[in-house]
């Protein structure tokens, strides 16, 4: 998602605030509503979101509700953006933030002028991470497909005494003849050798 798309979709965001109610979280709710977001606050962390949620501000407290937050955020999938709300910095808190996979951090008490920049940066980080994960999955799939093609070539080379270019040409020619993809032809060849 481009920067302009992130800015243009801020008003469409469904935001959850998973943090104990306080004057600070009330101010955060008001600031998010001013931005135009749809906001829902809950505490303690629910087992699941009862409505679609794009972004979560989650209170991260040393040793409290960490497992519940982790499960909740994991259910949101790769497109869920998470921003940690912390009262102070400690090695334990920082470790929890990393374990939760948060895309941004805000230290309490909040400054209303820092909410929008944190929201935009976290959303940008989240979208970039989702794109990279999707690209990684595509590359993994491509590698698996190439491995099947290579296995078929090796079997043909061993069975026919061919070199790699000959095995490749055979698979390519047979794939065109049978109107199959190279991968489908390779898998068909692998089944024949089973």
How many independent structural domains does the chain possess?
2
- Do 88 and 108 lie in one domain? The reply is yes
- Do 105 and 162 lie in one domain? The reply is no
DSSP state of 103: S
User: Are the C-beta atoms of residues 99 and 75 closer than 8 Å to each other?
Assistant: no
pLDDT of residue 184: 94
Mean pLDDT for the stretch of residues 106-110: 89
Q: Which of 111, 132, 153 is the last residue of a domain?
A: 132
The residue segments making up the domain with residue 10 are 3-132
pTM of the complete model: 0.79
CB neighbour class for 2 (10 Å; exposed up to 12, middle 13-18, buried from 19): exposed
- Do 158 and 102 lie in one domain? The reply is no
User: How, if at all, do strands 38-42 and 104-107 pair?
Assistant: unpaired
pLDDT of residue 110: 85
- Do 117 and 153 lie in one domain? The reply is no
pLDDT of residue 49: 86
Q: 59 has which bridge partners? A: 85
User: Are the C-beta atoms of residues 171 and 189 closer than 8 Å to each other?
Assistant: yes
- Do 152 and 56 lie in one domain? The reply is no
- Do 60 and 13 lie in one domain? The reply is yes
Structure tokens, 160: 């026919």
User: Are the C-beta atoms of residues 97 and 60 closer than 8 Å to each other?
Assistant: yes
User: Are the C-beta atoms of residues 126 and 104 closer than 8 Å to each other?
Assistant: no
- Do 102 and 120 lie in one domain? The reply is yes
From the CB of residue 125, how many other CB atoms can be counted at a distance below 10 Å? 16
Q: Which of 89, 108, 132 is the last residue of a domain?
A: 132
Q: Measured between alpha carbons, how far is 189 from 92 in angstroms, rounded to an integer?
A: 54
69: CB partners within 8 A, 6+ apart? 18, 45, 58, 60, 100
pLDDT class of 8 with cuts at 50, 70, 90 = confident
Does the N-terminal peptide bond of residue 44 adopt cis geometry, omega within 30 degrees of 0?
yes
Taking only the tens place, the pLDDT of each residue in 28-84 is 999 999 999 999 999 989 988 888 899 999 999 887 788 899 999 888 877 899 999
Q: Could you tell me the CATH number of the domain that includes residue 62?
A: 3.40.50.2300
User: Are the C-beta atoms of residues 56 and 32 closer than 8 Å to each other?
Assistant: no
Taking only the tens place, the pLDDT of each residue in 124-183 is 999 999 899 999 999 999 999 999 999 999 999 999 999 999 999 999 999 999 999 999
pLDDT of residue 1: 59
- Do 46 and 123 lie in one domain? The reply is yes
- Do 127 and 172 lie in one domain? The reply is no
Nearest CA among 181, 97, 107, 98 for reference residue 146: 181
Q: What is the residue-averaged pLDDT of the chain?
A: 91
């Amino acid at each position: 998602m481009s920067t302009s798309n992130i800015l243009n979709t801020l008003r469409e965001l469904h935001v959850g605030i998973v943090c104990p109610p306080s004057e600070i979280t009330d101010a955060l709710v008001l600031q998010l509503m001013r931005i135009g977001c749809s906001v829902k606050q809950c505490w303690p962390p629910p087992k699941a979101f009862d409505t679609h949620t794009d972004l979560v501000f989650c209170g991260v407290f040393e040793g409290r509700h960490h497992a519940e937050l982790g499960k909740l955020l994991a259910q949101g999938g790769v497109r869920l953006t998470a921003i940690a709300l912390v009262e102070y910095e400690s090695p334990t808190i920082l470790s929890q933030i990393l374990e939760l996979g948060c895309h941004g951090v805000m230290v309490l008490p909040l400054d209303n002028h820092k909410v929008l920049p944190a929201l935009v940066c976290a959303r940008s980080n989240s979208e970039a991470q989702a794109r990279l994960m999707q690209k990684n999955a595509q590359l993994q799939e491509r590698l698996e497909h190439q491995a099947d093609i290579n296995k078929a070539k090796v079997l043909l080379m061993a069975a026919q005494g061919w070199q790699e270019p000959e095995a490749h040409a055979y698979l390519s020619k047979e794939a065109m003849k049978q109107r199959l993809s190279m991968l489908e032809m390779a898998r068909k060849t692998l089944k024949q050798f089973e």
